[in-house]
Amino acid sequence: MLLLSIESSCDETSTAVLEDGYKIKSNIVASQVEIHKRFGGVVPELASRQHLESIIPITEGAIKEAGINLENIEAVAVTKGPGLMGSLLVGLSVAKAIAFVRGIPFIGVNHLEGHLLSILLEKPEIKFPYISLVVSGGHTNLYFVKEIGNYKLLGKSVDDAAGEAFDKVAKMLGLGYPGGPVIDELSMEGDPEAIPFPRAYMQEKPFHFSFSGLKTAVLSYLKKNGLYDEETKRAKIKKISKKHLSDLAASFEKAVVDVLVDKAIEAADKRECSSIAIAGGVACNRGLRLELKKRADEKGLTVYYPSNKLCLDNAAMVGIAGYFRILKGERDKFDLDATARLEL
C-alpha cells in the first residue's frame, strides 16, 4: 500500500509517502523556526498562514521524491489533533481533498500516536510492551505501549512541558528560540552540579511531571545574584561569563533530565518492560539520551530513539499510525473536524 500522510499540527509542514507502513519513500519537512524566532515562540496565526503557503509545494515534492504520481496513492492519513486549530485545519483540508478526488481511504491520526509509533520506522524489532516517553514543546507524556492501538497514559505534565520549559528559560537568558538546542549545546561545556536546582517529584502522582517550579527557580537564582533586569524581563547577559552561563544551562538541563529519566526507568520497572522508547523534539537532547542510556544499562533495559528527523514533528510518523488503523478497516468521513486538545 502506498500511503500519503500529512502533518501540520504546529509549525512544521510535512508530507510523506510510505510503502506498506514501514518504508519511507519520502518525508519532506518545512520548518518555520526562522519565522517565529523573532517572537520567541510560535505565533499561531503566522503558523497557519505559512502552512497555507507550504502545503501544496511540500505535498507535490513528496510525491515527486517518492517517484510516483498522485494516481498511485492508495490511502491518505493526516494529523487531526492535538495542535493549533488553524494549522491542523490546513493539513486536514488538503488530505480530505486528495482522498475525495481519488476516492481512497482517509484516516485522521492522533499526533501523539504518531510519536509513539515513530520508533517502528527505524527500529521495527522493538518488542511490545514498552514504555514510551514523549517529550516536546507541547507534551511531556509517559505511556505504557502494550501493542499497536493499545496505550495507557501513565503520567503527563501538570504545567509546562519539558520543551516549553527549555524555551522559556532560554528566552529568560536571552539565548533565542528554540531554546532546547542552544541550552543543550551550552550544557556540554558546563558543570551540571554547579547550581542545585530543584527536581519535582509528586508522591501522589509518581509519573506526572512539573517543570514550572524549576523555571521559577532559575528566575530566582538570577534575581538573587543580581543577574536579572526587571525592565527587560531578561538576564543581564553581559554580566554572565561564558563559563557561568554554561554551568547554568547544564544545571538546568540536568534537573529536567533527572526527572524524565527517573520516571521512565521507574515506569519500566513497575510495568515489567525491558524497553524504553523516547520521541518528540526533546528526544534529540544529547544529555537526555546519554543519561537514559546510562541508567537503562545499569538496569538491563534497552533504550530506543528515532533519528533526529523522526523525533521532530514529521509526516512519516503520522503515516505509520494511519497505516495500522487503515489495515484494521478504520475509515473517517469527510466531516471529520480538527481537535486542538485531543487525548490519546
Q: pLDDT tens digits, the chain, 344 residues: what are they? A: 999 999 999 999 999 999 999 999 999 999 998 889 888 889 999 999 999 999 999 999 999 999 999 999 999 999 999 999 999 999 999 999 999 999 999 999 999 999 999 999 999 999 999 999 999 888 999 999 999 999 999 999 999 899 999 999 999 998 988 899 999 999 999 999 999 999 988 888 899 999 999 999 999 999 999 999 998 888 998 899 999 999 999 999 999 999 999 999 999 999 999 999 999 999 999 999 999 999 999 999 999 999 999 999 999 999 999 999 999 999 999 999 999 999 99
Residue 297: exposed, middle, or buried by beta-carbon count in 10 A (0-12, 13-18, 19+)? Answer: exposed
Q: Is the dihedral of CA 96, 97, 101, 102 positive or negative?
A: negative
Q: Please check whether residue 326 is in contact with residue 95, taking contact to mean a CB–CB distance below 8 angstroms.
A: no
What the block records as the C-alpha cell of 342 is: 485531543
Cell numbers 491542523 label which residue? 88
Q: Is 126-305 the same fold as 2-117+312-327?
A: yes
For 40, list phi and psi in degrees, rounded to 5: 75, 15
The answer to whether the pTM exceeds 0.75 is: yes
Q: Is the dihedral of CA 268, 274, 279, 282 positive or negative?
A: positive
Q: Please check whether residue 262 is in contact with residue 207, taking contact to mean a CB–CB distance below 8 angstroms.
A: no
Q: Top-level CATH class of 2-117+312-327?
A: alpha beta
Pick the CATH number of 126-305 from 3.10.450.50, 3.30.420.40, 2.70.50.60, 3.40.50.180: 3.30.420.40
Alpha carbon distances (Å) from 57 to 9, 62, 64, 225: 18, 9, 10, 51
Q: How far apart are CA 135 and CA 137, in angstroms?
A: 7
Partnered with residue 77 across adjacent β-strands are 5, 107
Boundaries of every domain in the chain = 2-117+312-327, 126-305
Q: How far apart are CA 298 and CA 281, in angstroms?
A: 25
